[in-house]
Amino acid sequence: MTAPFVIAVDGPAASGKGTIATRLGAAYGLPVLDTGLLYRAVGVLALRAGADLDDEAAAAAVARGLSAGLLDDPEFRTRGAGEAASRVAVHPAVRAALLEMQQAFAAQAGGSVLDGRDIGTVIAPHAPAKLYVTASPQVRAERRWKQLAGEGVAYDEVLADIRRRDARDGGRENAPMRQADDAVLLDTSEMTIEQATDAARRIVEAARARWVNS
């Protein structure tokens, strides 16, 4: 039992990983970091500063100035923020600038839960518990569309967003979104959120038993 008990929850947009991470955190009494929020904050703050999201240096400067106290803004939860996040997330300098904050969170002695795209591969490659949560693009689009009810956006547009995000986050060599070799795949397409959480709990229980005996 040397390393802290880190639970890495990776997967594509609207796969259910955020809800699963929150519920795992509550079940095990662990703090949770939604790392997508960091990229969303960088995207929105870069736009507010009038920067071009394709400008890697400008986006990285925003990322270096980010602090945990700046993450409460409701605008970071909007559809536009998700799009901006995935555009700044392609820049290696942005990813590098956000690395330390995420690794410090994962290094907490009492353990933690992090959800994102590259937690099990880059941020916490030695995490004792790793899940890769996914679902079909259609199911994910429907979930996201329901979440965005107040934004008056059509389902087809949300599906197009999801497909574009998938391509940007995972569709190339060395892309951040990739299942770690030792992550357990959890396809939630046919599951309710309760069923998905129960399945995640079972995966984490097995990992915890191995970790306790290590």
Residue nearest to ligand C5P (CB): 36
Say how many residues touch ligand C5P, by CB under 6 A. 15
Closer CB to ligand C5P, 182 or 205, in the complex: 182
Which of 28, 33, 35, 180 is close enough to bind ligand C5P by CB under 6 A? Answer: 35
Query: What string of DSSP letters covers 80-133?
Result: HHHHHHHHHTT-HHHHHHHHHHHHHHHT-TT-EEEEESSIIIII-TT-SEEEEE
14 vs 142: CA distance, rounded Å: 9
Task: Please report whether residue 40 would count as binding ligand C5P according to CB under 6 A.
Answer: yes
Is 161 a binding residue for ligand C5P by CB under 6 A? The answer is no
Q: Which residue has the tokens 């030792």?
A: 182
**Partners of 6 in the beta sheet?**
112
Should residue 120 be labelled a site residue for ligand C5P when binding is judged by CB under 6 A? no
Least distance between ligand C5P and beta carbon 36 (Å):
2
Applying CB under 6 A, among 33, 59, 60, 89 the residue interacting with ligand C5P is 89
State which of residues 25, 116, 128, 137 lies at the interface with ligand C5P (CB under 6 A): 116
Other Cβ atoms within 10 Å of 63 Cβ, number: 26
| Contact between 115 and 77 (Cβ < 8 Å) | no
User: Structure tokens of 191?
Assistant: 């599951």
39 binds ligand C5P (CB under 6 A): yes
Site residues, ligand C5P (CB under 6 A): 13, 35-36, 39-40, 82, 85-86, 89, 116-118, 165, 169, 176
